[in-house]
Amino acid sequence: MYIRPYTVSQIGLILFAGFLWTYLYRGSRSSSVPFHPATRGIMEALVWGMALIGIAAFTGVVTHPQLDLLWYAAQALGIFFFAALAKAFYALPPQAPTVWPGEARWAPRIIQGLALLDMGYSTYRVWVWGQTGTIPPRVWYTRLGMFLAGTWLLVILVRKARQAARTAQPEAP
């Protein structure tokens, strides 16, 4: 069992995310206004992020070959994190002209589908290779789901920023 310097940082991030989630939850509950969809998306992303960092911290501290299999779930948790952030970003203003009809509904579902495919693939690898006792590392193309989810999130953010900049500029007379 090894306590590494970055393990302390991971525990700090988990505590910070937990406090932020509690603050958002209590603030939304004490108000008469219902949860904003962006707040719900951020809270969901915080939970997925805490689970991802928790697995990383746990597998970093406890050195046991069978517990290293938990790390295979981390990729899918990261994709679920991006899907929750996509829901939150789609809910932020400006909403109307920045997205195509139905995109705000289908894009997070597609990202979640990528995560489920990754979880299925990881489960299959662990089931097949786990019986031999050695599981080979991931192939580079199995990490494309995380890359696609993160890239799509950046595309959403850039489109929203461009639309906000366009609407903020005064029109010429």
CA 14 – CA 46 distance, rounded (Å): 9
* pLDDT, position 43: 92
This model's pTM is above 0.75:
no
Residue 80 has pLDDT above 70, yes or no: yes
Mean pLDDT of 146-168: 82
Mean pLDDT of 11-25: 91
pLDDT higher than threshold 80 for residue 166 = no
Question: Prior bond to 173 cis, omega within 30?
Answer: no
Give the residue with greater pLDDT, 99 vs 13: 13
**Mean pLDDT highest for which of 27-31, 44-48, 70-74?**
44-48
User: Residue 72: pLDDT band by 50, 70, 90 thresholds?
Assistant: confident
Q: Residues 45, 88: contact at Cβ < 8 Å? A: yes
pLDDT at 129 over 90: no
- Residue 47's φ and ψ, nearest 5 degrees, are -65, -45
By C-alpha distance, which of 152, 96, 149, 145 is closest to 121? 145
Q: What are phi and psi of 101, to 5 degrees?
A: -60, 130
Tokens found for residue 37:
């969809």
- For the chain, the average pLDDT equals 80
| pLDDT, tens digit (0-9, with 9 covering 90-100), for 86-124 | 888 888 776 655 566 677 778 888 888 888 888 888 788
